[in-house]
Amino acid sequence: MSPMRFAVDAHALGRHLTGNETYVRSLLRSFAEIDRESDFLAYVSEPGSEALVPKGFEVRRVSSNPYTRLGWDLPTQLRHDKADLLHVQYTAPLACNVPTVVTVHDVSYLEHPEYFTFGRRTQLRCTVAYTIRKASAVLTVSEFSKEAILRAYDIPAHKVHVVPNASSADFRVISREKATTAAMKILGFPQPFILTVGDLQPRKNHIALIAAFAKLVAKYPQFPHRLVLVGKNTWFAPKVREAAQNSGVADRIHFAGFVSDTELINLYNSADCFIFPSLYEGFGLPIIEAMACGRAVACSDTSAMPEVADGAGLLFDPLSEEAMVRAMADILLDGELRARMERLAVQRATVFSWQRSAKATLEVYRQVVEESGSRVQVRVADSVDAVAQVRKRR
């Protein structure tokens, strides 16, 4: 019997889509490490993104325009490639001749539409609902997100599988001295700093963090720290930057923008603490990345973040600036607490593994293919094609 052929919509590769890109890149890399029997196809959009696909995987180019990609390119390519299954994030093609597995990281577009532009939340409401109804299986990254999906959509619980994210093996504890030297080159200043990571968008709660940082500086003038924000600009970025300018401590707030994984590893390892004040997360990958790098983490006590941190981080109310101030001050002032949290952080990060997550994902793939009978349909189609070719030669 021929090997199974799994197709993955990898258009996020090379587009700096942070979580979505990290997810598909990590899965593909782990598939290559643990499965030498199946065939994999990756559909990419960005020039040069082929280099991010593991060697041995088939690569196809599809349009970066979502309407063209979903309306024409993917359906056409899937018919040609005879894949057994297609894996997408959030949105599947309008016409798809193979079973679909969809990853829905969270349903924030439903539960907190204010975090999105009108056009984006309208698009997600329509396309994700269609995709979830059509999909053979839904993957999500936390029990919190599974419960939210089941509240939002009338689908059986057994259709939704929790397969958590993980940090890449590249995120690890490295020499503090070397990391600090590298961070100085990235940031351009030698002072100690507090780090946060996340695109400049409403739900990441940067404006409240900036206000809390200003209060921290006022309350503890002995702290020399700066606040470093890592994350690309979005439509909301001007408001975050305006808040920084009006904070009274603008000279101590640094916007690093999007950084590479190598740069981010150095920043995690050289920060004095990591704070993640997000208002809503389906998982919260930076929490685990920071923990894998041995950082003491303070994060919000909402959505999936307590589930992810699970006692290895300080939790605070993201709606309370005073709570944020206390969390940062506790870590910076109490060396014993900080050291204990750093040990717990490394231990917690090991609970999550992309190889384990990839294995669980492949199990879902195989289950879907077996239950759908698509393999039988493909073999019949191949047999018909083979007979037709023989007749032509005669």
Domain match, 240 and 278 both: yes
Quote the domain boundaries for residue 316: 176-349
Number of domains into which the chain is organized: 2
pLDDT of amino acid 389 = 47
CB 52 within 8 Å of CB 13: yes
Q: How far apart are CA 342 and CA 295, in angstroms?
A: 5
Tokens in use for 298? 């303070």
Percent of the chain topping pLDDT 90? 90
Domain match, 32 and 112 both: yes
Domain match, 17 and 142 both: yes
pLDDT of amino acid 15 = 83
| Average pLDDT value for residue range 224-240 | 96
Domain match, 327 and 187 both: yes
Domain match, 269 and 146 both: no
pLDDT of amino acid 375 = 54
Q: How far apart are CA 69 and CA 48, in angstroms?
A: 18
Q: pLDDT tens digits, residue range 273-330?
A: 999 999 999 999 999 999 999 999 999 999 999 999 999 999 999 999 999 999 999 9
| Average pLDDT value for residue range 196-221 | 97
Residues 6+ apart with CB under 8 A from 187: 193, 228, 254, 256, 267
In a domain, 32, yes or no: yes
In a domain, 171, yes or no: no
Report the chain's mean pLDDT, rounded to a whole number.
93
Among residues 167, 143, 147, 164, the alpha carbon closest in space to that of 155 is found at 147
Q: In degrees to the nearest 10, what's the CA dihedral of 340, 343, 348, 350?
A: 180
Domain match, 287 and 384 both: no
Domain match, 212 and 312 both: yes
